[in-house]
Amino acid sequence: MIRISIDAMGGDHGPEVTLPSLLRVAERRPDARFLIFGREDEARPVLDRLPALADVSDFTHCEVAVRMDDKPSQALRNGRWKSSMWKAIEAVKDGEADVCISAGNTGALMAMSKFCLRTMADIERPAIAAIWPTIRGESIVLDVGATIGADAQQLVDFAILGAAMANALFDIERPTVGLLNVGVEEIKGQEEVKEAGRMLREAALETMQYHGFVEGDDIGKGTVDVVVTEGFSGNIALKTAEGTARQIAEYLRAAMSRTLMARIGYIFARDAFQRLREKMDVRRTNGGVFLGLKGIVVKSHGAADEEGFAAAVELGYEMVKSGLLDKTRATLDLYHARRPVAPAGAVSNA
């Protein structure tokens, strides 16, 4: 049995989308159980319409719902201890749930997750990992926006977290890991990135293959299973790729409707276009995973529809099932057992 706590109020559509999504998950994963947190007046009527979901769920009323535009500090001030978001996270901390899913606002969810769950031992900062569709399949990219900037040790930590996730999710024994950089010329590259590369090479961990530096165009190629970068560049890469995909879809739509011949061609190739749309469908890879905390939290896109939110829930389910936290802990222990003891501060300043 996998126990999943749900912030029913998160996202642009709230319980009207989140709860029907859970029914889809319940049908596909019979061993999933749900702890649902939300406002009685909004969530309960939806749940009452879905008896098959109610059978595998516990509902807890929470007065407060964090708003999509609350700043993290506001959300903490108004929503700590009592909001549906907080309660869903707390269920993981208290061992009542194995994983928490919310489509609520990212800043608030990260602030509450850090405050409530705390980071794992040996991890200074959590990261947000995205699943990125590539020509070869899927890769993991992190950090896509938990924090701005990262020193060498934090980048190494991200590599360990990402490799454990790739191992759990893609079932790859030694995932390949690359550090995102801007080229191989001597003047290029951030010092932290170069230092992290040296550290990963020296550590020679059995749980990953350190590939070296990769550039922006390597992400879509699927050159490595895990792409590591700090949150500013990672977020810009993610958003830029989303923007480019939308832009090309727009070009394609315009090209296919411009002439009669093109419209006829479109009719013949309808199935092919459908297949392309599915390939480019963000719902299939919906969900930013918070890594490095003492518990797993998955952030769904706020605008996700039922299938999109269900994908985020199933992502959380899979990671519990495949033992993400234990795998992460094992690699961290391996790394720290091997690392020579350095004077305080020496590593991150190196």
Nearest-approach distance from CB 284 to a copy of itself, in angstroms: 13
Task: Taking each helix axis as running N to C, give the angle between helix 84-93 and helix 106-117, from 0 to 180 degrees, rounded to the nearest 10.
Answer: 40
Cβ proximity to a copy of itself, 159 vs 238, nearer residue: 238
Nearest-approach distance from CB 264 to a copy of itself, in angstroms: 5
Nearest-approach distance from CB 132 to a copy of itself, in angstroms: 10
Cβ proximity to a copy of itself, 172 vs 241, nearer residue: 241
d(CA 230, CA 227): 10
Nearest-approach distance from CB 271 to a copy of itself, in angstroms: 7
Nearest-approach distance from CB 4 to a copy of itself, in angstroms: 27
Cβ proximity to a copy of itself, 212 vs 216, nearer residue: 216
- What angle (nearest 5°) sits at the alpha carbon of residue 295, between those of residues 293 and 301? 85
Q: Can you give the binding site for a copy of itself, defined by CB under 8 A?
A: 71-73, 107, 111, 133-135, 145, 148-149, 180, 182-183, 185-190, 215-221, 229, 231-233, 235-248, 250-252, 255-256, 258-259, 261-262, 264-273, 275-276, 279-280
Nearest-approach distance from CB 229 to a copy of itself, in angstroms: 8
Question: Is 160:337 a contact under the CB 8 Å cutoff?
Answer: no
Cβ proximity to a copy of itself, 55 vs 69, nearer residue: 69
In the chain, which residue ranges form alpha helices assigned H by DSSP? 15-28, 40-48, 51-54, 72-79, 84-93, 106-117, 152-170, 191-203, 216-221, 231-256, 260-268, 270-279, 306-321, 324-338, 346-349
Cβ proximity to a copy of itself, 132 vs 335, nearer residue: 132
Q: Which helix (H) or strand (E) holds 132?
A: strand 127-133
Cβ proximity to a copy of itself, 5 vs 300, nearer residue: 300
